[in-house]
Every structure is written in C-alpha cells, then in structure tokens.
C-alpha cells in the first residue's frame, strides 16, 4: 500500500512518519522474532564477530576493559545471516513505503537489528544517520520496525521534527560521565523540540537520514527488539563519491541520475 499524498507531505515536513497500518502480520512477526532471537543466540558472547554492544564504554571498539553494564546490541546485515531477514528486504509493505518517499529504483544500503535488553538496555545518542554514513545525496530513508511494543519506558525513538531540513549537523564521539562510547556519535540538539514516537509490535516508523533522533536506556522489565532497514535511491554515492553498486537492488532497476534528474551512464 503506497503512502497517501498527505502522509508523504507529512514526512517531507517532519522528516519522519509513524506508519498507520501494520507492516508485519502476527505470523510474520512471530517468525521474525524467532529468527531474530536465534541469530542473537548464535552470536552470544561473540562481541566483534558481527555483534557489538554499541553502549560499551571504553577507549576503543575492542577495549578488553570496556564497561558493558549497559547493553545495546547491534547486528548488521541480518539479511546475509538469515533467510527470513533476506526476504524482509523485499517485503512489499516496506518497499511501498520506500517507493512513496524515494522513488521506484531502490537499493538496500544495509539492515540492522538493534536489541535493548530489559532493565539495562543502553541508549543511542542524538544523531543523524548520515552523520555516520556521509552518503550523497542524503536521501536515504530508514524503516524502523518494532518487534516488541516500543514506548518511552523501554526505549522508543525520540525525534526532532523538521530537523532534516536544517542540513547536516556536526557530530562528535559520544561521551557519558563514565567515559567514551567508541561506537556512537552525538550531535547537539534542542531537546525541548523532542517528540517520542511509540510504535506497537508489527508497526513501523520511517525517518529521513538527516532527521535527528535518539533512544533512551531501557530500564523497564520488557525487552525492546527493533529491526531497521536503510533504503536508498539507486545512484547514491559514498562520501568519497564512489557509486554504491554492491548493495542489492530490491525494486526497480539500477539507474544513476545527474543533478537535473537526467539518467547518466554509471
Ligand atoms: O533503535 C534504536 O535504539 C536506535 C535506532 C536508530 O538510531 C536508527 O534507526 O537510526
């Protein structure tokens, strides 16, 4: 189901959109939860082998002395690890949302599972996704799916509406009073503008890669499993100007357009 014109306008204005319809039905949700847990169980205790705790505090990403008292587990490229997540890239409710926002020719930049365990789930600090990526042009969209009900208690997304229209923010290494978070960047924001975006299990929100957002620690007794797919229009380049050609085209065809919208040879 394509987004309505009104929903697209809202996304263009706010930089994010809570999707009003379910994107995963009960049986799909149950399958994804099972496969999600199984990938995390296989990776248990293997920081550095595809799984990392982005809430770890230390001097570097592989600091053996790092403080892991808060845990925000990340596994990227779930689609390369598990068939259910490979199929999810092509799930038409997701591609319809992406197509409504970025056009018919769509690649997956990457996907990721972000798991905040109950009670000691760590935070993700304020950032724009493109503060990490530096993609050009910055027209990527991320579909953030809740596999558990996500609310203010277990670390739902908080956003700064309209911030994607204010350009690229300056990012620096995130810090807490305990020390450095080697895996995370942070940007300064006016938190008075922040809005929480609770999302029920099976539903999703989509955000623009320049929209500032963060999530709080999970201090509740409920876990918070989220799955995110970052979609981009074909022809997107790295910050160095190289075309991203390895990433799967999931709808339409690989086309590269110049600034005037004319197709050019890749
Ligand atoms: O799920 C989270 O806690 C953070 C998500 C996020 O930063 C993102 O989807 O870009």
CB of residue 158 inside a 6 A radius of ligand 1: no
Q: Is the confidence at residue 53, as pLDDT, over 90?
A: yes
Distance 224 CA to ligand 1 centre (A): 11
Asked whether the predicted pLDDT for residue 43 surpasses 80, the reply is yes
Residue 266 placed within a domain = no
Asked whether residue 258 is domain-assigned, the answer is: no
Q: Is residue 257 included in any domain, yes or no?
A: no
The rounded Å distance from CA 1 to ligand 1 centre is 24
How many structural domains are present in the chain? 1
CATH of the domain at 182: 2.60.120.620
DSSP 196: E
Answer whether residue 62 shows pLDDT above 90. no
Counting atoms of ligand 1 from 1, which one is nearest the CA of 144? Answer: 9
Give me the pLDDT at residue 28, please: 98
Strand partners, 213: 127, 159
Task: Provide mean pLDDT across the span 189-217.
Answer: 98
Would the pLDDT of 265 be above 70?
no
**Is it the case that residue 261 has pLDDT exceeding 80?**
no
Structure confidence at residue 244 (pLDDT): 97
Atom 7 in ligand 1: residue holding the nearest Cα: 214
Residue 113 domain flag = yes
Spatial distance between the Cα atoms of 88 and 113, rounded to a whole number of angstroms: 12
pLDDT tens column, 220-256: 999 999 999 999 999 999 999 999 999 999 999 999 9
- Strands 249-251, 179-186: pairing is unpaired
- What is the predicted pLDDT for the residue at 116? 98
Rounded Cα distance, 194 and 133, in Å: 23
pTM (2 d.p.): 0.96
Q: Nearest-CA neighbor of 78 among 88, 67, 92?
A: 88
Q: Is residue 250 part of a domain?
A: no
Asked if the structure places residue 46 within a domain, the reply is yes
Which residue segment(s) compose the domain that 161 sits in?
Answer: 5-235
What mean pLDDT is predicted for residues 25-43? 96
Q: Is there a domain that residue 242 lies in?
A: no
Rg (CA), the chain: 18
CA dist., res. 50 & res. 66, Å (int)? 18
Mean pLDDT, residues 108-117 taken together:
98
Q: Is residue 253 included in any domain, yes or no?
A: no
152 neighbors 196 (Cβ within 8 angstroms): yes
């Amino acid at each position: 189901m394509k987004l309505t014109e009104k929903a697209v306008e809202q996304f263009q204005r706010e930089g994010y959109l809570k999707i009003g319809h379910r994107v995963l039905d009960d049986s799909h949700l149950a399958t994804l939860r099972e496969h999600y847990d199984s990938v995390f169980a296989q990776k248990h205790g293997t920081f550095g082998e595809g799984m990392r705790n982005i809430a770890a505090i230390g001097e570097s990403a592989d600091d053996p002395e790092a403080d892991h008292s808060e845990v925000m587990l990340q596994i990227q490229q779930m689609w390369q690890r598990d068939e259910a997540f490979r199929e999810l890239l092509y799930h038409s409710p997701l591609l319809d949302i992406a197509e409504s926002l970025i056009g018919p020719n769509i690649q997956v930049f990457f996907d990721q599972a972000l798991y905040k365990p109950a009670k000691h789930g760590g935070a993700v600090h304020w950032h724009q996704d493109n503060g990490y990526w530096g993609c050009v042009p910055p027209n990527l969209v991320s579909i953030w799916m809740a596999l558990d009900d996500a609310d203010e208690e277990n670390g739902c997304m908080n956003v700064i509406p309209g911030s994607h229209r204010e350009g690229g923010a300056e990012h620096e290494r995130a810090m807490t009073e305990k020390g450095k978070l080697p895996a995370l960047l942070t940007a300064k924001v006016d938190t008075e503008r922040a809005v929480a975006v609770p999302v029920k299990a099976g539903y999703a929100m989509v955000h623009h890669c320049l929209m500032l957002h963060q999530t709080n620690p999970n201090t509740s007794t409920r876990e918070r499993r989220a799955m995110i797919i970052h979609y981009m229009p074909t022809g997107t380049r790295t910050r160095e100007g190289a075309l991203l050609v390895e990433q799967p085209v999931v709808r339409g065809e690989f086309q590269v357009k110049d600034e005037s919208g004319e197709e050019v040879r890749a």
